[in-house]
Amino acid sequence: MFTKQLQDEDEEILKIAKKLNSTSGSILRQFLFFITSTIIHFGFRYPKLKLQTFKFIDVLPSLETKNVYPYFKIYIFDEDTELPTFLKNSIHFLIHLFHLNSIVSYVLLNVVKFFAKLFILCESSKKLNIKSNQFRPRTYDILGEIALSPAEAKEIQKQYLELIETLPEEIHNIDPKLRTNISIKCSGIETKLYPESEESSVQYLKEALRPILRSAMGKKIGINLDMEQYDLKSIISRTAKELFLEEEFKGYPHFGIVVQSYLKSSKEELFSWKEYAMTRGVPITIRLVKGAYLEYERIKSEERGWDPPVFNSKHETDVKFEENVLFLLESFPYLRSAFGTHNLRSLSFVLYHTNKKTITDFEIQMLFGMAGKYKLRLESLGYTVREYSPIGSLLPGMAYLIRRLLENTSNQGFLYQLSQGKKIDSLVKNPNKETQYGI
């Protein structure tokens, strides 16, 4: 049973949520929200069609333009989806009759590119317009999944170095919330990362990271190591702890790492990082996220006959996220908090407790192209929002785009629930309480 104090806390969190959600923005933003909501509703209503569409988008970068429609037909028209057979056959007949294959292929390709540009900042660091991107502080990232060859890893490492070279030097005593950051996907810059050979993997990864860290320190830019699938967690964490203690790096206060709340071990990780920061004598930034590989981790665990390292439900993940928020705030100033979320309940929970503890040195981080309404509202209330801003072309960015589309079309996602007319009161309920829409 909840105490009066907890009930009062939930009421205050609800007030904050309503304040964040109180503005609908410009007419253009309202229109974009309407279009997004319509697409999300359509995607949830037709799950088979959504799945096949994502499969098609995933393979699209490997196709020549002239082959786009033939593959679209294979994935969308030839598969069993919710689209009526008569409709699919009629569309294909008309395209074939009027020789529209090339035109339809061109249109399909450019529609997907248009959506990709909504989530990807630019194609390369050479096309990065620094002045036009100073509206918000950013953490930049080079797009791409796991590097498949040493040559590819070297190329991605080179892109990180070129990005740092492109960015201006930061002011020494700038507010940490405004300092430019770069997020690094470790499996993109080193191929020899094997859980069964952790010692050598750590050494290889340190060699790949040192030039990037040196270059970033020269520009006084922050560096964050992204956390990936569970298999690499120990390697990445150990590499960070050893590398940040090396003589040339141990005094630099602008290093950080990600902790994923969907991991059952997340609280222990935070405790470990707090002890580490106290020993090092310099704060470490922790980007707290809920996690991005939930289904992957479950599937891999089932294949191996292991207990999954992640929680079984989103409800449990939400509970742990809030527990971790409180631990992070209590760990100030040893751990510097960066909360990566678009979720209204989570945002309101963070704002309530940072205000209660009078902590101002924390960050809200959101993805480029998402939650624009909440970014503007937070900024109007005096909070700084950092945008996680990916850089890369459509080909390496496709997996990233798919994850963003999956997030936006999830039936558990806050945006979907809001688009369905669910009331704010039900969407920001305390996750410790039983609720059908515990987000």
Which tens digits make up the pLDDT trace of 337-389?
Answer: 999 998 899 999 999 999 999 999 999 999 998 888 889 899 999 999 999 99
Do residues 94 and 219 share a domain? no
Pairwise pLDDT comparison (74 vs 25), residue with the higher score: 74
**Stated pTM of the model:** 0.89
Decide: helix, strand or coil at residue 183. Answer: strand
Q: Is residue 2 part of a domain?
A: no
Q: What is the mean pLDDT of the chain?
A: 87
Do residues 213 and 70 share a domain? no
Domain-terminating residue out of 117, 150, 170? 117
Q: Is residue 4 part of a domain?
A: no
Bond from prior residue into 333 cis (ω within 30 degrees of 0): yes
Local structure of residue 3 (DSSP, 8 states): -
Do residues 77 and 204 share a domain? no
**Closest alpha carbon to 233 in 160, 281, 293:** 293
Do residues 229 and 278 share a domain? yes
Span 317-325, average pLDDT? 95
Q: How far apart are CA 380 and CA 108, in angstroms?
A: 38
| Tens of pLDDT, residues 190-243 | 999 999 999 999 999 999 999 999 999 999 999 999 998 899 999 999 999 999
**Number of domains the chain contains:** 2
Do residues 138 and 185 share a domain? yes
Do residues 282 and 220 share a domain? yes
| Tens of pLDDT, residues 83-141 | 999 999 999 999 999 999 999 999 999 988 888 888 899 888 888 876 555 679 999 99
Q: How far apart are CA 299 and CA 330, in angstroms?
A: 35
The angle formed by the CA atoms of residues 426, 339 and 431, to the nearest 5 degrees, is: 25
What is the reported pLDDT for 112? Answer: 87
Span 52-79, average pLDDT? 91
415 confidence band (pLDDT: 50, 70, 90): low
Percent of the chain with pLDDT strictly greater than 70: 87
329 confidence band (pLDDT: 50, 70, 90): very high
Q: How far apart are CA 368 and CA 187, in angstroms?
A: 22
What is the reported pLDDT for 119? Answer: 87
Q: Is residue 12 part of a domain?
A: no
What is the reported pLDDT for 390? Answer: 93
Residue 283 has pLDDT above 90, yes or no: yes
Q: Which domain holds residue 148?
A: 122-433
Do residues 221 and 295 share a domain? yes
Question: In sequence order, what are the beta bridge partners of 340?
Answer: 365
Residue 173 has pLDDT above 90, yes or no: no
What is the reported pLDDT for 255? Answer: 97
Do residues 204 and 92 share a domain? no
Domain-terminating residue out of 97, 117, 137? 117
308 and 297 in contact (C-beta within 8 Å)?
A: yes
Q: How far apart are CA 237 and CA 242, in angstroms?
A: 9
141 and 182 in contact (C-beta within 8 Å)?
A: yes
Q: How far apart are CA 364 and CA 339, in angstroms?
A: 5
What is the reported pLDDT for 331? Answer: 96
**Closest alpha carbon to 17 in 378, 287, 354:** 378
Q: Is residue 321 part of a domain?
A: yes
What is the reported pLDDT for 14? Answer: 92
Span 24-45, average pLDDT? 63
Do residues 104 and 138 share a domain? no
What is the reported pLDDT for 38? Answer: 65
What is the reported pLDDT for 1? Answer: 46
Q: Which of 11-15, 36-40, 59-63, 434-438 has the lowest mean pLDDT?
A: 434-438
> Tokens at residue 72, please?
């679209």
Span 301-319, average pLDDT? 88
- Which CATH number characterizes residue 137's domain? 3.20.20.220
Question: In sequence order, what are the beta bridge partners of 224?
Answer: 183, 256
